[in-house]
Amino acid sequence: MTIRNEMLQLAREAKEAGRVMANLSSAVKNDLLVRMAAALEGGSEQLIAANEEDLAAARERDLAPAMIDRLVLDEERIKAMADGLREVAALPDPVGEITGMWRRPNGIQVGRMRIPLGVIGIVYESRPNVTADAAGLCLKSGNAVILRGGSESIHSNTAIGALLKEVLRKMRLPAAALQVVATTDRAAVLELLKLEEEIDLIIPRGGEGLIRFVSENSRIPVIKHYKGVCHAFVDASADFDMAEKICLNAKAQRPGVCNALETLLIHKDIAETFVPRIVAALRQAGVEVRGCEVTRAFAPDVTPAGESDWPAEYLDLILAVRVVDDLEEAAEHINRYGSLHTETIITRDYANAQRFIREINSSVVMVNASTRFSDGNQLGLGAEIGISTTKLHSFGPMGLEDLTTRKFIVLGDGQIRP
Amino acid sequence: MTIRNEMLQLAREAKEAGRVMANLSSAVKNDLLVRMAAALEGGSEQLIAANEEDLAAARERDLAPAMIDRLVLDEERIKAMADGLREVAALPDPVGEITGMWRRPNGIQVGRMRIPLGVIGIVYESRPNVTADAAGLCLKSGNAVILRGGSESIHSNTAIGALLKEVLRKMRLPAAALQVVATTDRAAVLELLKLEEEIDLIIPRGGEGLIRFVSENSRIPVIKHYKGVCHAFVDASADFDMAEKICLNAKAQRPGVCNALETLLIHKDIAETFVPRIVAALRQAGVEVRGCEVTRAFAPDVTPAGESDWPAEYLDLILAVRVVDDLEEAAEHINRYGSLHTETIITRDYANAQRFIREINSSVVMVNASTRFSDGNQLGLGAEIGISTTKLHSFGPMGLEDLTTRKFIVLGDGQIRP
């Protein structure tokens, strides 16, 4: 069978299976996930053996130690995957929720009911835990899922998939609701991306290269997460202790992630006192500061920031710092250089807090909190399937609800249109 | 300037203008729309003169009389456009609505707030009233809009656009919030469809050819409305009077629209009595019936339906009729041949009504009501920007709310991530 036909068949089976999944009760879906968790733990020997094959190949290809570490599956990580599935099982089921219902003058009742999207394709790199995490979220929300991981973790992914599919079979549910693409041929991805009749949504998870490849080649809607260039604006009225604490946390607590702070904007009225203080604190935390001219006037030994620093996503212990005239200039800077991910203002001024919340249209906008809270779990969505920095369908961290859509329901008693 | 640069500049100006529109109060936006309505009425002579140019060109090109009729702007249709704007002005503003707010254990408050999408591109054919209707909906929801109508109505569209832009200027609002593409070169559309940095959503309105052209060439998310193959299922327990009334209304009240009935499914237990009755009633209403073998057993002079009749969108006084074993077979038929638009069940059985509502995942699912209610106005959304038959972002009739997205807002008092 050609790759084209193979992918088409796999997607068609998923679509059929999705119809069954869409109508399962929450109790059955929760039971499924809990049993899947047990299957992962019970099959840990198999998983570790399969993972060994991936690790051997990675060592042969001389992958960086950090990359190899991300691939590793051990008892602890298998337990974490299983716990993840149990957590998703415990979340409320979005399917069937009626988000509003009203009566029209002619007596028909009109409402909107959440339903699964249908078939979701996940294209990801590296970490094998995504296989279980994504499967759990997609199945709990009543969808079928097609998983296509990277070649580095193909054996681990296939082994995880096999254990999970076995649970579907044992429960007499359609095993095709969970499809793990077994080929590492990139042509398979290209074929999947054409199947707009069968697949409803594609979520790429990985580096910018993968995301661009998927979105440029897809005929199916893609939810993209480009980079996170997050900003903090320290307003003239800010509490300096709070500002320092938030900036340090946002930058240094875990600098390699997309919700870490990348640019700090400081109101000019406090620059003289706050710039030296925050620069010293950042230095002590091991952060390299790159500053605008005004910043350097108050902290002369700071590296000069160039035009390439403002849009930079360092993902490292580096921070760009700029002094701005006011909230307006801060907003202009964010509009110009930001990535619509997360921005925070530190202020004691009610009107400025309100303005910032209203006027900054990034996916997460905060007052007096660390950008590191920009995450599905931290915001209270439960587990997260991804973060969208484009506005259609979902914007920001995505949970179970974002894997659904809404249909209209109409209850009449014989009404016709005059 | 090349078309590419011209479109890029126009879209960039729209994006800038969109930032201003996003922060206008509802009062200002409503005032804008009401003044635009007055401007259309006040400029009716200009509009009719511009429209004459389109009509002359249409007659020269020997367009069908029905096509020419759709192009006509007269005092009455101008008044209808103006009234449409006033109606949109009177609708609630979705921007700024907080759709939920909760407190996390660490004390941060998390909410979701509706914001405009940014820049919306509308690519449409024929009717010049779309220019005013789409402008009203996009501006009211705080977006900038780029309108690209068909060449048949280029003079009318440009004249309408000029009047509306003049109102923006008089109110000292950015005129670039409303861009009417003045060239009829198709290359302009292709260029617009590439501007994913500037345009957030493309809505094509017109025939299937236009919609396919746009969605195949767009790098920007597209909300598609393919065809409407709507079904009614008359259950064994149906009230025959109600079933007849609904079927006639759904098929014959206005057969040329996407929410008209195209296939009637009848439960086998009532076929013997209901088939002859409904066939006679449909005939009397001038409807040609094409039936399955069982239908023809009870109404022998019905034309035989072929495999091509089940997926057909006739948009005409023709109806396909099939007798099915039960709700299950009806659902299978709808899944196989339907277009996810609108389906209705006529029944007195509570459990079957519940099952139909739950299990049929088309964009609008009804009990005991005519499919003709599947329309933004009829369902209570106010004016409608389109109907989506794909599931991402919106599914079914789309109103003002569908031209927005939601950002997360986080209110803290110094929280950092441990």
Domains of chain A as residue ranges with CATH:
3-224+397-409 (3.40.605.10), 230-378 (3.40.309.10)
Q: Over 80: is that where the pLDDT of B247 sits?
A: yes
Q: Which two tokens stand for residue B137?
A: 């909906």
Q: What values do phi and psi take at B334, rounded to 5?
A: -65, -45
Q: Which residues contact B72 (CB under 8 A, 6 or more apart)?
A: B51, B55
- Chain A, nearest residue to B359 by Cα: A23
Residue B225 has a pLDDT of 84
For residue A399, the model assigns a pLDDT of 96
CB burial string B260-291: b at 16+ within 10 A, e below: bbbbbbbbeebbeebbebbbebbeebebebbb
- Distances in Å between the Cα of B154 and the Cα atoms of A3, B127, B164 are 46, 10, 15
- Work out the angle at residue A382's Cα, subtended by the Cα atoms of residues A381 and A388, and round it to the nearest 5 degrees: 55
- Could you give the CA distance from residue A165 to residue A153 in angstroms, rounded to a whole number? 18
Vertex B8 angle, CA B7 and B9, to 5°: 90
Percentage with pLDDT > 70 across chain A? 100
Average pLDDT, chain B: 96
C-beta atoms of B370 and A117 within 8 A: no
In tens, the pLDDT along A126-147 reads 789 999 999 999 999 999 999 9
The token pair that represents B410 in the structure block: 């986080």
Give residue B127's pLDDT: 87
Sheet holding A119-124, edge to edge: A178-180, A144-148, A119-124, A201-205
Mutation choice for B interface testing from A115, A193, A239, A253 by most B CBs within 10 A: A115
Mean pLDDT of B394-405: 97
B33: distance to nearest CA of chain A, Å?
Answer: 22
Give the pairing type, strands A261-267 and A318-324. parallel
Q: Where are the beta strands (DSSP E) in A60-164?
A: 98-103, 109-116, 119-124, 144-148
The model's pLDDT over A50-89, given as tens digits with 9 standing for 90+, comes to 999 999 999 999 988 888 998 999 999 999 999 999 999 9
Per-residue model confidence (pLDDT) at position A357: 97
Residue A286: CB atoms within 10 A of its CB come to: 9
Q: Identify whether the C-beta of residue B395 lies closer than 8 Å to the C-beta of residue B363.
A: yes
Chain B nearest CA to A244, separation (Å): 10
Report how far Cα B66 is from the mean position of its chain's Cα atoms.
21
pLDDT at residue B405 in the model: 97
Task: Report the residue from A359, A392, A414 with minimal CB separation from B221.
Answer: A392
Nearest Cβ partner of B370 from A116, A379, A417? Answer: A417
B193, B219, B349, B361: best mutation site toward chain A, by most A Cβ within 10 Å?
B361
Rounded to 5 degrees, φ, ψ at B157 are -60, -45
Give the pLDDT score at A227: 87
> What is the pLDDT at residue B226?
81
**Hey, of A15, A20, A108, which one would you mutate to test binding to chain B, going by the most B CBs within 10 A of its CB?**
A108
pLDDT at B333 over 90: yes
Q: How far is CA A83 from CA A41, A70, A73, A90, A165, in A?
A: 10, 18, 14, 11, 18
d(CA B157, CA B45): 14
Closest CA to A400 of A386, A411, A388: A386
pLDDT higher than threshold 90 for residue A278: yes
Q: Is A83 helix (H, G, I), strand (E, B) or coil?
A: helix
Short-list B412, B100, B94, CA closest to A356: B412
Q: How far is Cα B91 from Cα B361, in angstroms, rounded to an integer? A: 29
Amino acid at A258: C
**pLDDT of the residue at A404:** 98
Instruction: Tell me what ipTM this predicted complex has.
Output: 0.94
Q: Is the Cβ–Cβ distance between A121 and A108 less than 8 Å?
A: no
What would the pLDDT profile of A199-248 be if each residue is shown by its tens digit? 999 999 988 889 999 988 998 999 988 889 999 999 999 999 999 999 99
Span B111-166, pLDDT tens digits: 999 999 999 999 998 789 999 999 999 999 999 999 999 999 999 999 999 999 99
Gap from B271 CA to chain A (nearest CA, Å): 20
Looking at the predicted structure, is the pLDDT value of residue A368 above 90?
yes
What confidence tier does B206 reach under pLDDT thresholds 50, 70, 90?
confident
The sign of the torsion formed by the CA atoms of A16, A18, A24, A30 equals positive
- In this predicted model, what pLDDT tens digit does every residue of A154-201 receive, in sequence order? 999 999 999 999 999 999 999 999 999 988 888 999 999 999 999 999
Residue of A nearest to B366 (CA): A410
CB contact under 8 A, A392 and B201: yes
What number of residues does chain B have?
A: 418
Q: Is the pLDDT of residue B404 over 80?
A: yes
Cα separation of B152 and B178, whole Å?
Answer: 20
